Structure 1
Amino acid sequence: MGLISEVLLLPFAPVRGSAWAVRQLLNEAERIYYDPATVRAELARLEERLEAGEITEEEFDRQEDGLLDRLEFASRNSAGLGNGTAP
């Protein structure tokens, strides 16, 4: 039955390939988004913007909360996976 199903589903191969590529892109984007080094760099840039007067204290607090949430999420997930990347 495997060969028959492959032949019947052959017209859908481009869709399956596209879906795989989209999943890979999303996985990589999520890995970068939650990467602790990336989040720490964004926190440093945020602090520089505050010190330069580009943003208000309220805006800094709001953005900092979001970045710290990302960092906490990354730490929780890496510790749960046991991949040794937790601090």
Structure 2
Amino acid sequence: MGLLSGLFTLPLAPVRGTIWVAEQVLNEAEREYYDVGKIRRQLDDVGQARERGEISDDEADALEESLVARLIEANRRQREGR
């Protein structure tokens, strides 16, 4: 970037910084959301809650369906290197 373009785009620096921070937050949130180990622990927790009678079979089925979909997506992302 040249001196003049740097001077002209200087007022946009806070916006670029904000966008960078937002991208970092998004990346970290996605990394946690698609963490395979975390998803598997949550699946175990749902199974245990079902066994203890804390949640109904319908609730457990819905939670497990959602978690399995996340697990499939997490595995796809790992294969793609994301």
Q: What residue in structure 2 maps to residue 3 of structure 1?
A: 3
Task: Deviation per CA, 1:44-75: give whole Å up to 9, x if none.
Answer: 11112111211110110111011001111111
Q: Distance in 2 between matches of 1:34 and 1:56?
A: 25
Task: Deviation per CA, 1:9-54: give whole Å up to 9, x if none.
Answer: 1111111101101100100110110010010011111112111211
Number of positions where the alignment pairs a residue of Structure 1 with one of Structure 2: 82
What is the root-mean-square deviation in Å for CA atoms of aligned residues?
Answer: 1.5
Consecutive aligned runs of 4 or more in structure 1 exceeding 2 Å deviation: none
Q: What residue in structure 2 maps to residue 33 of structure 1?
A: 33
Q: Distance in 2 between matches of 1:26 and 1:69?
A: 20
Worse-matched range after superposition: 1-10 or 11-20: 1-10
Q: What residue in structure 2 maps to residue 45 of structure 1?
A: 45
Q: Which runs of 5+ in 1 are unaligned?
A: none
TM-score by length of 1: 0.86
1:1-87 to structure 2, matched below 5 A, reads: 2-81=2-81
Q: Which runs of 5+ in 2 are unaligned?
A: none
Q: Distance in 2 between matches of 1:29 and 1:35?
A: 10
Shift of 1:80: 2.4
